[in-house]
Structure 1
Amino acid sequence: MKPHNPLDIIEIPLSKTSMALGLAASAVFVAAGIWFVNHPNQFHRAPLIITIIGIAAIVAFGVAALYIVNKLFDTRPGFIIDDDGITDNSNAFAVGFVPWEDVQKIEVAYIQRQKIIKIYVKDPDGYIRRQPNALSRRMASISYRIHGSPVAVSAQALQSSFDDLYKLITERRPNL
């Protein structure tokens, strides 16, 4: 592997603004969950279901808030493009480093009106297996089953527009 020219490395920082908005939204849902748990009888039916929904909101959005706080203090770039490949550090289910020799095809897709970059890799199951925990493996497996690739990149948490990110990736490897 040849040494990198620092000018050949593109680092895209995480968007602290997007993360702050996500943290605020998570806090609102945690607060709503707490209210549901403390006041289930305010609803005309099924207080038990309201309590369960409240607990689920507290757990899910509490975990999301903890993750976002961790990312707010993360000094690593959200996304790196270099001569060796790409490194995605933009979200909880990012796959990390993907060498160019593993990339078979790059295309744009939509998931619920949000643009993503699907990166088709040679060994999708290998990328699923290397995920650090069961939830990440499950999410990568679902992505593979639904979208044909466990590697999906969004610009949502990055200081980059989707179009600029796509252009930077495809300019580095125009034959894909």
Structure 2
Amino acid sequence: MITPLRVGFVTGATPDKWARHWRERHREPLELVPVTESEQEHLLRGGSLDMCLVRLPIDRDGMHCVRLYDEVPVVVAGREHLLAAADPEVTTADLADEQLVMPHASGWRPDVEQLDWPEMTPREAIETVAAGTGVVVVPMSVARLFQRKDVVTRVVADLEPSTIALAWRVERDDETTQAFVGITRGRGANSSR
């Protein structure tokens, strides 16, 4: 029995195109495993995953890491929030007086004193802001994944984008791993490194 290549993907990442190309070109099975940002590195280092589409930053010690694409940061607020009337883009200055739900997600915090929010998943954070409490800053892919009719999304123009990368342990760098890396880098079926 052939062991599947286990590739994790963090919330919001979309591995479908690469998985389709893998299945067209390789007989080894591919298993896609959804992971959260908080567990992405732990599962990869622990060997539960062979590779993972991670949201940077991660500790790169003992890891190979190939940057794939950047994600635009957006703020999500309830439909009745003032941001609903704002332009498609806002700045952190526009958010300076807001209570930020899930503040660790963006790396940015407003200057006002923040409530001590319990640990939340992105879905729970968006449900919280839909109820009219605070705002949350997340990558656009996460906001789209959990899109609801009772929230609005605005690009935060002055925040740095987040980055999705493919990571794997140095000791896992074999032919199968490099074949998947090649697919994510756009190599054709007959091309080589």
Same fold (TM over 0.5): no
Q: Normalized per residue, which structure has more strand?
A: 2
Q: Normalized per residue, which structure has more helix?
A: 1
**TM-score, normalising length: structure 1:** 0.26
**TM-score, normalising length: structure 2:** 0.25
